Structure 1
Amino acid sequence: MRIATEFPRTVTVREHVWIPMRDGTRLAATIWLPDDADQDPVPVLLEYLPYRRGDWTAPRDAQRHPWYAGHGYASVRVDIRGSGDSEGVMLDEYHAQEQQDGVDVIAWLAAQQWSTGKVGMFGISWGGFNALQIAAERPEALKAIVTVCSTDDRYADDVHYYGGALLGVDMAAWSATMLAFQSRPPAPWRVGEAWESMWRERLEALRPYSEIWMSHQERDDYWRHGSVCEDYSRIEAAVLAVGGWADPYRNAVLRLMENLDAPCRGLIGPWSHQYPDIARTPGPTIGFLQETLRWWDHWLKDADNGVMDEPPLHVYQQDSARPATHYPERPGTWVALPGWPSAEVPERAFNLARDVRTLAAGADGLVLVDTPQHTGVDAGRWFPFGNRSDLPPDQRAEDGRSVVFDTPPLVKDLNILGFPRLRLRVAATGPRANIVARLCDVAPDGSSTLITRGALNLARRDGMDRSDGLVPGQWTDVTFDLTAIGWTVPAGHRLRVALSTTYWPWVWPHGDRVAVTVDPAASELVVGDLAPEALDRAHPGFGEPEQAAPLAIVAGPPPTVRPEREVRYEPESERWVLTVDPNYGGNRTFPDGLTYRESALERYSIAEDDPLSATAESQWTIGLERGDWRVTIDTTSVITATATHFRLSNEVRATLGDIVWFERAYVTDIDRRSV
């Protein structure tokens, strides 16, 4: 990592700027601006998030916003309405109000004396989502975006549903995370005496997001809103889409490449849920800021720098690696492709009876899949954050709980790239069932490394917007994609397809235990096989990561010492308990004197023979202290289920000094229609 200390333009930071919305609400912004921008106006770059620019994202903001400003941009970080220091309340993620406000922010930025009137928008995760969503609103000044770890389809790829099944691991944890964010006050030293009334307004408006998300179990109009795949033609701004093979949001890069009419470039590396210049595993990191600067210079400064003359898609084809929960650097090769889909990635099919075989087939050639409820405890984290325990460990235990189909040892390398697709002929013993598929790279010593996976709630077999119960015992053909991947299975290794009916806690089980029979002879796996000559082409690679000087943060006392991830089995009750510390950053003191404390813990438990025993819990404690001002936020979120409904229990307690400022419990029952 290279720290830049000298830039073409000197920079001034405007720490707290109010941006007015059309309804009079004001959003809080920090603006990094070249000193001479009033005389020599510059284009504007916007990052628009709910994650509190004054503390939570401040270390990351310091890495990139001053860097962009030093290279001749006004770089702006805005707190979404009802978050951080902004006025109003935040009603939901990706709410129509958020998008309308984003359009207003862009218009205000374009109209400033120091602005050329051209705006770009960038962000990771939430900021990547709303960059796409606001681009679809077509604000006149927005010319280009960089969207990182995001999606074009909110139902398919976000933290709510997976293959039409309820995503237990993050439906609970992320709604709990947002409850803790929603409950935090603005900073009195920035917003003044209004902070108390602003905080009270937020607390009184609280509604746990899980209540909203779980009320929409099919892909209805709620999920269509904010899903730009509904009409790709609405996006006219140029799009640079970025993802990481270790992150669940990588699918959108290839879909955007295939479907956008607007100028589009794609980049997929080995990374987790991080910007590609941030030194979190897996690496290697790249000079991402430099790459995006070329993008901005072309679209916002009309620079003839050849960025659009280069191959439009760059992917990191990962080499085979032994299973590990983190990789400081993944071995692999950068590959440039002329677009997506690509003629250099022809499809290869494996019939599950002829080419990929199983020992589980009966005399009739059929296979029964009926797996224990705790299958999935070795799935790893839903969105890896770069921690040491995030990635899936050796899959041999999971394979033993599943039905596996293995190829013979491969006689030549198989360069899987794109979306593996599984076609299955199945029959079930009940009307509701899930099917989960994992692809694994099995080495000669038997170690099994997860390549990718996918799931299908069989009630969604004819569309994610509908629910069609199965007729018990009746054969049906289903097709679903696994998550996109770039992975080379070398000669001598075996490719494994592992099937299960359960995958806890990623997939919440249906209320009844249902077995699924598979007809291997009528089933196949189809993968894209990247041509060897594409791997052999010389690729220039990317430069060394460069950032602005880090924020002067003082690390606080370490939080409670505990494993990041722990799996425990209780034989007496046959219950499996997975405990996760998401480890987002811990305790620290910021240059403005704010001391920030954070502790979060997730717990998922299930009995191996009882789908109704599933429980997901998340607890957060946040401490904010500056001088004699001290705030503590405690939240607890629990999801359980019966055969007919889910029960959501959420509690919030906010303390100012030693006084309980707010306390409320929310208990909601939601009908189980199809998950």
Structure 2
Amino acid sequence: MAATTTVKEHIWIPLPDGRRLAARMWLPAGEGPFPAILEYLPYRKRDGTAPRDATTHPVFAAEGYVCLRVDIAGTGDSEGLFDDEYSEQELSDGEAVLAWLAAQPCCDGNIGMIGISWGGFNGLQLAARQPEALKAVVSVASTVDRYADDIHFMGGCLLSDNANWASQMHAYQTRPLDPDLRPDWRAAWVERIETLPFMAADWLRHSRRDDFWKHGSVCEDWSAIKAPVLAITGWADAYVNAPPALAAQMQTPAKALIGPWEHRYAHISKLEAHDFHAEVLRWFDRWLKGEDSGAETLPDYRTYMQEHFNPTKENKPRQGRWIAETAWPSANVREVVHHLGQQGLLQATPDAGEAVVSNPASLGAASGYFCAGMRIDNELPGDQAGDDALSTCFETQPLDAPLELLGRARVRLAFSVDKPVAQVMARLCDVAPDGVSQRITYRGRNLCHEDSHETAAPLVPGKRYEVEFALNECAHHLRAGHKLRLALSTSYWPIVWPSPEPVALTLHLEGCALILPERSVAEEVAAQAPGAAREYPTYQAEVTRAPSGTSNTYEEADGTLVLETFDDYGAAIDPVHGMEVGSHVAMRYAIHPDDPASATFSSQWRFTFARGDWQVQVDTDNLMQGDRENFHLWRKVVATEGPAEDEVCVKEWRESLPRDCL
């Protein structure tokens, strides 16, 4: 690092209504004022994000930025109560934080926001509100459409992560406040638990794209964002669609960068680390300091063009090369129609005839974890050949020449079904000569959402329908001799919650096609790829229990297929405030192949906190299951204190909701 920094471990930020938000600040050496970088999260700056914060904010502060890490109201040690993700309270509080920071003597009034996932979301959302001080954003693994591309729904299909993420947030939000900072910690802790929103139910209540999801979806008005945006993600992440959409739609400078990463900042990727710091500093140096850093002349879209490798659920490096497109959308990408026919994917005239898509509800064993980067390991999609064998597939002949895809493929289907509620899952796969199938991209579509995701209606069995939908963004190079395979299924468990009954989906082939974004260039432009990760400071905690994780799949006596995972995130003592924090989670996904209504998700989280004579434990349990008409949700928290685990608060919630064409 260029210079030493000063850290203020805890400061209070006053809000207009009298509440205070807890924050941590890193100050550059020398005379200010300086531009500032804000990261605004609900994940506890005192312990939750402390290991990651240690690798980023000291680096940026050493380069001349005031860095501020703020806990959202009702989280960490901040005052107030938490109400929901990206709520009006969160965003209006964020505007107040920006105004407060801009007015500090250390800040020159120019602020950038940075964040991954939650912080990537609210950076864009706050930019759309146009606060005066917010001059630039680095948004990592975020979305521009909260309904289409978050952890709740995909193509109108319910993601199991709606329950999974809600269970994680339930565990996060029931953690105690720090007695060293909040003398009222116990009363405030109990109040938080008693008033927690039942987010799994609240989100599921909005199964269509209504005003609940439009709030915070910046795609509703692209022109609202005036601050330049650098949008970053990784191909192993769930959030791949936002960066190219921002590059294509924004009217102010926006650049997209997608690398071979999971749901992590690139410098700490377990797959292949790159110099995340340089990308951030180049962006903020231009838009906060006014320096000629080269940010403006970057290609619109830089990405890692992946190739086939032996896909496995374990973390390992990707295979491919870096490319760039000067402008996005690009003239180097053209749409090519391939018809679905009895002989596979055809570029000739449409084929006649029919094909039936019908498969076990358990299809998806090789799907991987929806958002890789959240578990210890064992979370990436594996060889798709087993899932392909249970799907209805259409594929090319072995390619005579390489084929490159860049963008979002689209699937067009003419179909009829035998049940009133149905969905279709589409996967594009790169199939090697030895038969190993690697997933390139995928996406589902709720077929009850005929015209838009704002309306839903039961399907009429036997009636002919048509639908067209885009798969997720991809960049993939298929080698000569490989085959491109489109695999269609009516389920994809455990990523997508299945329809209530087994479905036979009949395709009318003359109306079915795959539209590919095929890329060809006469000469590549300079990729300007991120460099190798630089040296950076790390969190110097005393590890008292090392992290570990397992994943196990088995079949019960009645044929139910079960996936059980266990992630022990370990325990460590913070070197500054001395608190020991530990956590682990066990998750269970179960389904019977013949009964999609048997799908079940459960999780058990435990957090422990200790310092001196103070000791706290929080156990949370969550369950989601259903029948053919309803979903049933349950959760419980048991909060205890002291070595005898005296109960502080025990609370249960139950709710049943109609499936609403899910």
Whether TM exceeds 0.5 here: the answer is yes
Identity percentage of aligned residues: 42
Cα deviations across residues 243-298 of structure 1 (Å, max 9, x unaligned)? 111111110111111111121111011110011111412x2x22110121111111
Partner of 2:148: 156
Q: Do the aligned partners of residues 430 and 339 (structure 1) sit closer, same or farther apart at CA in structure 2, a change above 3 Å counting?
A: same
Picking from 41, 46, 58, the partner of 1:66 is: 58
SS at match of 1:236: coil
- Residue 588 of structure 2 is aligned with which of 603, 611, 617? 603
RMSD: 1.6
Aligned to 1:291: 279
Equivalent pair of 1:289/1:547 in contact (CA under 8 Å): no
Higher mean displacement: 41-50 or 310-319: 310-319
Aligned to 1:177: 168
Equivalent residue for 1:569, pick from 539, 555, 575: 555
Deviation for aligned residue 1:547: 4.7
Q: Which amino acid aligns with 1:238?
A: P
Amino acid at match of 1:22: P
Give the distance between the partners of 1:45 and 1:355, measured in 2 at CA.
56
1:137 aligned onto 2:137: no
Matched, 1:656 2:641: yes
Tell me if structure 2 keeps the 8 A contact 1:579–1:604: yes
Separation in 1, partners of 2:55, 2:38: 15
Q: Is the 8 A contact 2:418 2:505 kept in 1?
A: yes
SS at match of 1:291: helix
Amino acid at match of 2:218: V
Aligned counterparts of 1:133 and 1:415: Cα–Cα separation in 2: 34
Aligned AA for 2:88? Answer: A
State how far apart, in whole Å, the 1-side matches of 2:42 and 2:15 are: 16
The equivalent position to 1:189 in structure 2, one of 163, 167, 180, is 180
Quote the residue 1:671 is aligned against: 658
Q: Deviations over 1:36-87 (max 9, x none)?
A: 3xx4200010000011111111010000101111100101100010111111
Is the alpha carbon distance of 1:566 and 1:520 closer, same or farther for their aligned partners in structure 2, counting shifts above 3 Å? farther
The answer (yes or no) to whether the contact 1:165–1:456 under 8 Å persists in 2 is yes
Structure 2 CA distance, aligned partners of 1:262 and 1:364? Answer: 47
Residue identity in the other structure for 2:476? W
Distance 2:336 2:357 in 1: 25
Q: Measure how far apart 1:183 and its partner are.
A: 0.4
Write out aligned runs for 1:17-36 (5 A): 17-36=11-30
Q: Return the letter of the residue paired with 1:23.
A: D
Separation in structure 1 between the aligned mates of residue 526 and residue 315 of structure 2, nearest angstrom = 25
**1:298-313 to 2 correspondence within 5 Å?**
298-313=286-301
Q: The residue matched to 1:106 in structure 2 has which SS? A: helix
Matches of 1:524 and 1:234 in 2, distance apart?
A: 36
Q: SS of the counterpart of 1:155?
A: coil
- Alpha-carbon distance in structure 2 between the residues aligned to 1:403 and 1:173: 29
Residue in 1 that maps onto 2:570: 586
Question: TM-score, normalized by length of structure 2?
Answer: 0.96
**Displacement of 1:34:** 1.6
Distance 2:223 2:163 in 1: 34
Q: Name the SS of the counterpart of 2:266 in structure 1.
A: coil
Conservation of the 8 A alpha-carbon contact between 2:71 and 2:77: yes
Q: 1:637 aligns with which of 622, 629, 643?
A: 622
1:237 to 227, 240, 243: 227
TM-score (norm 1): 0.94
Partner SS for 2:268: coil
- Residue in 2 aligned with 1:113? 105
Tell me the residue number matched to 1:92.
Answer: 84
In the alignment, which residue of structure 2 is the partner of 1:83?
75
- Tell me the CA shift for residue 532 of structure 1: 4.1
2:542 is equivalent to residue 554 of structure 1: yes
Instruction: Find the aligned partners of 2:290 and 2:352 in 1 and give their Cα distance.
Output: 66
Q: Which residue of 1 aligns with 2:384?
A: 395
Is 1:530–2:519 an aligned residue pair?
yes
Shift of 1:327: 5.0
Equivalent positions of 1:419-498 (< 5 A) are 419-498=408-487
Runs of 5+ consecutive residues of structure 2 not aligned to the other structure: none
Q: Which amino acid aligns with 2:276?
A: F
Q: Secondary structure at 1:131's aligned position in 2?
A: helix
Q: Secondary structure at the match of 2:545?
A: coil
Query: Cα distance, 1:611 vs. partner?
Result: 1.6
One-letter identity of the residue aligned with 1:180: A
Cα contact 2:601–2:624 (8 A) shared by 1: yes
Alpha-carbon offset, residue 601 of structure 1: 1.1
Quote how far apart the aligned CAs of 1:541 are. Answer: 2.9
CA distance in 2, matches of 1:313, 1:143: 21
Q: Tell me the equivalent position of 1:3.
A: none
Alignment-mate amino acid for residue 394 of structure 2? F
Check whether the contact 1:435–1:457 (CA below 8 A) recurs between aligned residues: yes
State the one-letter code of the partner of 1:77: R
Between the aligned partners of 1:205 and 1:484, the Cα distance in structure 2 is 39
| Structure 2 counterpart SS, 1:157 | coil
Q: Give CA-to-partner distance per residue, 1:520-549, whole Å, 9 cap, x none.
A: 232111111121435x44434332312532
Query: What amino acid is the match of 1:672?
Result: R
Picking from 604, 617, 625, the partner of 1:619 is 604
Letter in 2 for 1:653: V
Residues of 1 paired with 2:534 and 2:36: CA distance?
20
CA contact (8 A) 2:352 2:509 kept: no
Deviation at 1:588, TM superposition (A): 1.8
Whole-angstrom distance in 1 between the partners of 2:43 and 2:442: 30
Give yes or no for contact 2:305–2:475 (8 Å, CA) kept in 1: yes
The one of 200, 216, 235 equivalent to 1:210 is 200
Q: Does the Cα contact within 8 Å between 2:491 and 2:499 map onto a contact in 1?
A: no
- Kept after mapping to 1: 8 A contact 2:398/2:483: yes
Give the secondary structure class of the aligned counterpart of 1:268.
Answer: strand
Amino acid at match of 2:251: D
Deviation at 1:357, TM superposition (A): 4.9
Q: Given that residues 453 and 482 in structure 1 are in contact (C-alpha distance below 8 angstroms), is that contact kept between their aligned partners in structure 2?
A: yes
Query: Which amino acid is the alignment partner of residue 661 of structure 2?
Result: S
Provide the rounded CA distance (Å) in 1 between the counterparts of 2:343 and 2:46: 56
Structure 1 residue ranges (4+ consecutive) displaced by more than 6 angstroms after TM superposition: none
Aligned with 1:156: secondary structure? coil
Q: Is the 8 Å Cα contact of residues 156 and 163 (structure 1) preserved in structure 2? A: yes
CA contact (8 A) 2:341 2:352 kept: no
The CA deviation at 1:354 is: 7.1
Seen in structure 2, the aligned counterparts of structure 1 residues 539 and 256 have a Cα distance that, compared at 3 Å, is closer
- Displacement of 1:387 after TM fit? 4.4
2:7 corresponds to 1:13:
yes
> C-alpha deviations, 1:100-155, integer Å up to 9, x for none?
00000000000001110111000000000000111111110000000000000111
**Does the 8 Å contact 2:411/2:471 carry over to 1?**
yes
Determine the C-alpha separation between the residues in 2 that align with 1:552 and 1:322: 36
Inter-partner Cα distance in structure 1 for 2:409 and 2:329: 13
Structure 1 range deviating more: 149-158 or 326-335: 326-335
Distance, in Å, in 2 between the alignment partners of 1:553 and 1:53 is: 15
Deviates more, 1:242-251 or 1:349-358: 349-358
**Which sits farther off after the overlay, 144-153 or 384-393?**
384-393
Asked if structure 1 preserves the Cα contact closer than 8 Å seen for 2:418 and 2:503, the reply is: yes
Query: Would the aligned equivalents of 2:441 and 2:471 in 1 still touch at CA under 8 Å?
Result: yes
Shift of 1:159: 0.9
Question: What code does the residue aligned with 2:226 have?
Answer: E
Q: By how many angstroms is 1:17 displaced?
A: 0.5
Deviations 1:555-581 (A, max 9, x none): 22246x662x222122x3110001123
SS in 2 for 1:506: coil
Note the C-alpha offset of 1:18.
0.2
